[in-house]
Amino acid sequence: MTGDLPTSGTLVLAGTPIGRVEDAPPRLAAELAGADVVAAEDTRRLKRLTSDLGIELRGRVVSYFEGNEQARTPQLLEALLAGERVVLVTDAGMPSVSDPGYRLVAAAVEHDVPVTSVPGPSAVLTALAVSGLPVDRFCFEGFLPRKPGERSRRLAALADEERTLVFFEAPHRTEAALRALAEAFGDDRRGAVCRELTKTHEEVRRGGLGALADWAAEGVRGEVTIVVEGAPEAGPVTDPAVLVALVAQSEATGLRRKDAIAEVAKRAGVPKRVVYDLVHKGGPQDG
């Protein structure tokens, strides 16, 4: 007769303060103190956090960051399957939101391990709330590509996105990101640069993307979140010359012609055959 299989543990995604330690959710201290394993993006920052919270960890602490995430995930999954409670924390905010965590969550779900969270501060939602831009519909795009060509292609694909956009950016790349955003969306598209949210030197700059880029040229310090107004709602595009030009622009970003035609047709609200005929035959053909 075989023994009972061990009951799996629980993965806890714990939100940590993005600024002031007073913003830590009340459950955070209890979860950290009671965890069998604490996986931390930066163990030194975890030590400072537990000191500020006035707690001691009884479980073991392991590092879990971008460089070792793939290799460490199987080890943490093994702990979960053995019945241990694993608490995952990142440097700030919610794990797996542009931070380590996705791989471990996916592995836990695949093996039917319960996954829960200690909701905490989020730079994405905080920036949205203070931006002054519409928040009823939004999308989070994380960090833009560092290479100018890749960044331009990403933004070209977002040019007609009607939802408010949220980006993370490094301070030394903020000006370049804002210049690229202004080039893709227009100098007058409204935006907000949210710097050092909830911290002593918190600052929110609002205005057109062109003006924000000029401001950033003087130098930006601290953690940065950029919020950008969505594109205005547009009706169908029917001008043949405009449709052909849009295809050419999409091809210039590296798309194949077939994909460019499909993208433009979708954006313009017209059948693909119409755009195809304009590009390949100079206009719709009579039967």
Contact 234, 160 (CB under 8 A): yes
Amino acid 283: pLDDT = 52
SS3 263: helix
Amino acid 234: pLDDT = 64
Is the pLDDT confidence value at 258 over 70? yes
Is pTM beyond 0.85 here? no
58-91 pLDDT per residue, tens: 999 999 999 999 999 999 999 999 999 999 999 9
Is the pLDDT confidence value at 3 over 50? no
SS3 140: strand
Q: Shortest CA distance to 94 belongs to which of 53, 140, 51?
A: 140
Is the pLDDT confidence value at 277 over 50? yes
Is the pLDDT confidence value at 45 over 70? yes
Architecture of domain 10-121: 3-Layer(aba) Sandwich (3.40)
Structural domain spans, the chain:
10-121, 124-228, 240-281
Select the CATH number that applies to the domain covering 124-228 from these four: 1.10.3720.10, 3.40.640.10, 2.60.120.260, 3.30.950.10: 3.30.950.10
**Amino acid found at 280:** H
**Overall average pLDDT of the 247-257 stretch:** 85
**Amino acid found at 73:** T
